[in-house]
Amino acid sequence: MERLGAVWVEAQLIEISRRSGTRTIFLTLRDKLAEVSVSVTASPMTLDAAGPLTEGATVVARIKPTYFESSGRFIFSCDAITPMGEGRLLARLEQTKRLLQAEGLFDPSLKKPLPFLPKAVGLVTGAGSAAERDVVENARRRWPAVQIVASYALVQGPQACEQLIAAVEHLDRRQEVDVIIIARGGGSVEDLLPFSDEGLIRAVAACRTPVVSAIGHESDSPILDLVADYRASTPTDAAKRVVPDVAEEKTRVHQARQRMVQAMSGLVGRQQELLNALRSRPVLMDPTATFGRRYEQLADLRHRADRAIGSTIERESALIGHHLARVRAMSPQATLERGYSILLDPDGVAVRTVEQIKVGEDLLAQLADGQLRLEVLELMQRGAA
């Protein structure tokens, strides 16, 4: 049995079991014709080379039988496995998805926001298709004045990719187009292949205009859904997403106006209450009422000022009289009034001693009420014999 060579078998992959602590992966393959299942071991490298495999997929595997004498177990080892049919197609799409994801084409930060009310809606779809009818009817039902610019292309077949790319680039160049919808009805994986084409994905990623993907139904998920700025579940959902509902917008405008009126009424009411409160204050009800109190305060202050000034004048007058009395007491005039006189020599110098004058000189005597001119007849010194 060990000498038997490897054989290629076609089977359905029933189970994939990864056991912890070991690098061996256990697969369960079922014969497509007979109700027979076998256990197959494979390495992680073998499984990764096959691409993403899902349980239930049809595969072609190269296996070799192995018998363990110690345990009596009979098992097959697999060194190559390839998905068939739809599984193979899905594996190829998964590889393309991983490649584009590694380049960052699906980065959420690259998503462009959709306009609130586009001037024109670009539509890439099949001519006369149900998807076109769904988008146009729903968009015009929501916003009757919406302008739709259609660019028709094949949506399946070998030439679909080229035409889809040309249609997207054509709409992206038109200045009036604010958003582009790529729409198609449901279909098989093979039918939706053009919407996972690498060329179309790169063309959508390079668009300056936001792109909405509306391919198939909710369960369909081409790669276009990942690179588009918004993914709609159906063409009808795409129309609802890119065009606002005129009835809803009217309702919102009406509600906004009501809120504005309420806000303004509330503001005016509050200001009116404030004005009423200000007008009810005594100073505004009778502006002259405070004048009487101020007049009384002013009269009191004036009386106090008069008394203070009078007291100050009396004190200063008494002080001046005191000083005047002292000055008068020290004045020569007071001395003269007491009977004294002042003698002045011919030069007008006060005579202090007899030695300043000579006999026969004229002197001037200054009295309290006038002057006398005297002649010196004799000089007598105090203490002379």
What tens digit of pLDDT does each residue of 326-348 get? 887 777 777 777 777 888 888 88
Percent of the chain scoring above 90 in pLDDT? 39
Based on the fold, state whether residues 187 and 64 are members of the same structural domain: no
Rounded mean pLDDT, 359-382: 83
pLDDT at 305 over 60: yes
| Lowest-confidence pick of 26-30, 159-163, 182-186, 189-193 | 189-193
376 and 357 in contact (C-beta within 8 Å)?
Answer: yes
41 within some domain: yes
Based on the fold, state whether residues 121 and 237 are members of the same structural domain: yes
64 and 24 in contact (C-beta within 8 Å)?
Answer: no
Based on the fold, state whether residues 147 and 234 are members of the same structural domain: yes
Based on the fold, state whether residues 202 and 131 are members of the same structural domain: yes
Residue 230, domain extent: 95-244
CATH number of the domain where residue 218 is located: 3.40.50.261
Based on the fold, state whether residues 16 and 37 are members of the same structural domain: yes
Rounded mean pLDDT, 113-122: 93
**The tokens 């690259």 sit on which residue?**
110
Going by C-alpha positions, the residue among 86, 99, 147, 143 that lies closest to residue 121 is 147
Question: What's residue 282's pLDDT?
Answer: 78
200 and 172 in contact (C-beta within 8 Å)?
Answer: no
Q: Residue 53 and residue 23: Cα distance in Å, rounded? A: 17
Helices 198-205 and 85-102 meet at what angle, rounded to 10? Answer: 30
pLDDT at 156 over 60: yes
Q: List the structure tokens of 280.
A: 């009810």
pLDDT at 203 over 90: yes
Rounded mean pLDDT, 194-212: 92
Rounded mean pLDDT, 105-126: 93
Domain termination residue (choose one: 41, 57, 83): 83
Segment 226-242, tens digit of pLDDT: 999 999 989 999 999 99
Q: Indicate the residue type of 32.
A: K
Going by C-alpha positions, the residue among 140, 127, 131, 129 that lies closest to residue 242 is 140
Based on the fold, state whether residues 162 and 185 are members of the same structural domain: yes
Question: What's residue 221's pLDDT?
Answer: 78
Percent of the chain scoring above 70 in pLDDT? 96
Domain termination residue (choose one: 28, 51, 83): 83
Based on the fold, state whether residues 107 and 50 are members of the same structural domain: no
Q: Is 365 exposed, middle or buried (CB count within 10 Å of its CB: 0-12, 13-18, 19+)? A: middle
Give the best-scoring range by mean pLDDT among 30-39, 58-67, 94-103, 230-239.
230-239
Phi-psi sector, 72: left (phi>0), alpha (psi -120 to 50), beta: left
Q: Residue 339 and residue 343: Cα distance in Å, rounded? A: 13
Question: What's residue 385's pLDDT?
Answer: 46
**Higher pLDDT among residues 36 and 232, named by residue:** 232
Bridge partners, residue 31, by sequence: 11
pTM of the model: 0.53
What are residue 197's phi and psi, to 5 degrees?
-70, 140
Question: Considering its fold, how many domains does the chain have in total?
Answer: 3
Based on the fold, state whether residues 225 and 129 are members of the same structural domain: yes
Q: Residue 118 and residue 235: Cα distance in Å, rounded? A: 17
How far is residue 114 from each of residues 6, 121, 154, 202, measured CA to CA in Å?
57, 11, 26, 19
Q: Residue 99 and residue 94: Cα distance in Å, rounded? A: 9
Residue 111 banded pLDDT, cuts 50, 70, 90: very high
Give the best-scoring range by mean pLDDT among 43-52, 129-138, 218-227.
129-138
How far is residue 159 from each of residues 153, 155, 162, 263, measured CA to CA in Å?
9, 9, 6, 60
pLDDT at 208 over 50: yes
First to last CA, the chain: 187
Based on the fold, state whether residues 66 and 111 are members of the same structural domain: no
381 within some domain: no
Going by C-alpha positions, the residue among 177, 195, 226 that lies closest to residue 126 is 195
CATH number of the domain where residue 69 is located: 2.40.50.140
Question: What's residue 238's pLDDT?
Answer: 93
Domain termination residue (choose one: 56, 83, 110): 83
What average pLDDT is seen over the chain?
A: 86
Based on the fold, state whether residues 175 and 135 are members of the same structural domain: yes
